[in-house]
Structure 1
Amino acid sequence: MMKEIMKRAWTLAKQGVKKFGGKVREYLASSLSIAWEESKAMVNTIVKSWTTSKGAQVEMTYSTSRAVQTRNAMDDLVETIENGLKIESVVLNGESISTWNTNRKYKEHKLSMGVVEFKGKKCKIEIEMPEVISLEVFGPLEKTVVPAKKEETLRCKHCGEFCYGDCQANK
Structure 2
Amino acid sequence: MSSLSGEKTIEYRTWLPKDIHEFVLVSSATPSLEDFGLKYPNGYALAIIRILKVESMRDEYGWYIAVEQLIKPFRCKGKLHFFDVPDNLINLLPDLTDARVAYLENKTGYKADQFISKNVKPAIEIAIKEMPKKYKKAYRENAGNWNAVESRWLLSKKEYKRYWSPAWAL
TM-score by length of 2: 0.22
Q: Structure 1 or 2: larger helix share?
A: 2
Q: Which has the higher contact order (CA 8 A, sep 6+)?
A: 2
